[in-house]
Amino acid sequence: MRSLMIWTMVAGVLPAAGALADPPQRSLPSVTTKDLDDYETKVKADSQYLIRLLAQDRDKAEALIRAGQMQRPAARLWAMDGQMLFAGDVFAGKSLQGNEKVAHFKHALEYLQESYDVAVEALKNTPDERLQEVLPGLQIDLALAALESGETELAKKHAAETLRQNTDGKNWNYGNIIHNANQTLGRCALREGKLADAKTYLLKAGATPGSPQLNSFGPQMQLARELLEKGAKETVLQYLDLVSKFWASDKEQSEPNKQHAALIAGWKREIAEGKIPTGAQWR
């Protein structure tokens, strides 16, 4: 599945973050039916075509994705590629601060909301399991974009709604939703000054059973880092013990698991010494 590699591919291929961080209200290029046909042909033949396009011309990629979803709303491709566009924008947004960061994510919130609404409406007219499967990921992205835009109530709404609907434990995305939605809810709680709630959400995120993505690429550490900045050392150590169950399990003595176990052990030592880890996952 394409989503399994989105984050690794984006981080490895896109240029430096500032190159993608143009202000919102862009004047996007026009898109013809032939442009959409050509794009569909290329992405079906080459799984990394969109990644290269994002690196070369991010606005063209957005224009194609938004036009494709509006004109061909029942096609799963466009909603999935909207998620990849957002993955690139999250990567770009890491270097931004203040109003520039808020504006950057408000633009992302705009196209994600459009994508989500179009997909929901399309499913009313033409039920499709493959398109339905994309919706939870889109809504988790919406929650994150809302959080980074300063829209805390909207972020909480989307994250909580996705958790309520996450009832199929056999779905590949089940563990991702538990982890990512609780991370967002915890970060919202911190912004509201609710430290105890944020700690609870971090432990709920860590209690995920894992997923193909989490088992391979590991958990997110943003909420853990923010809690360490508030002095919540013991909670973060508990979280690392929880995520080690799927990311560094003793039951599977593979080389990646050994490497992950060593990373976690190193992070725990740093935290015990009063430090905040500075590895890529913590930034």
Judge residue 269's burial from the number of C-beta atoms within 10 Å of its C-beta, 0-12 exposed, 13-18 middle, 19 or more buried: exposed
pLDDT beyond 50 at 19: no
pLDDT value, residue 181: 98
Q: What percent of the chain has pLDDT over 90?
A: 80
pLDDT value, residue 1: 45
pLDDT classification of 26: cutoffs 50, 70, 90: low
pLDDT value, residue 23: 42
pLDDT beyond 50 at 9: no
pLDDT in tens, 84-96: 999 999 999 988 9
pLDDT beyond 50 at 12: no
pLDDT beyond 60 at 14: no
pLDDT classification of 252: cutoffs 50, 70, 90: low
Give mean pLDDT, residues 60-78: 95
pLDDT beyond 90 at 237: yes
Where are the alpha helices (H) located in 14-57, listed in sequence order? 33-45, 49-56
Structure tokens at 20: 């993608």
pLDDT beyond 50 at 162: yes
Domains and CATH numbers, the chain: 2-17+34-165 (1.25.40)
| 92, 100 contact by CB (below 8 A) | no
CA distances from 125 to 73, 121, 132 (A): 10, 7, 12
| 184, 203 contact by CB (below 8 A) | no
Across the chain, mean pLDDT equals 89
